[in-house]
Amino acid sequence: MQYLELKEMKFHAYHGVMAQERKVGNTYTVDLKLAFDFSRAMQTDDLNDTINYAAVYALIDREMAIPSNLIEHLAARILEKIHASFPQIKQLEIRVAKQNPPFGGDVKQAAVVIVQNY
């Protein structure tokens, strides 16, 4: 299997159920792993034979700008948009993490991971 990974993409966004989270926002990181056949691109050296990861990043950036109460919902929404735009993907794995979640504990991040097969 061949994979394209985008790791530790950072965003300042306004997700969460608490009013303060929607007002001041927080830092989020997104990791993405895409499984698809890019063997043709390995031979041709042509961007048209693979998935343009700049386009994937732009899609994630747009979705991060739309507030969600839950990072679970956000992660699923991102996966849906990516697969709709790039149907050649066979498997998507996403990890969305909220840095320093505001619930009174010393926690570096709260994260969800979804692995979706197509």
* Catalytic (active-site) positions: 98
- Helices 71-85 and 53-64 pack at an angle, to 10 degrees, of 140
What's the CA gap between 77 and 84, in Å, rounded?
A: 11
- Using CA atoms, how far residue 113 sits from 41, 51, 68, 96, in Å, is 28, 22, 16, 7
What's the CA gap between 46 and 75, in Å, rounded?
A: 30
Amino acid present at 66: I
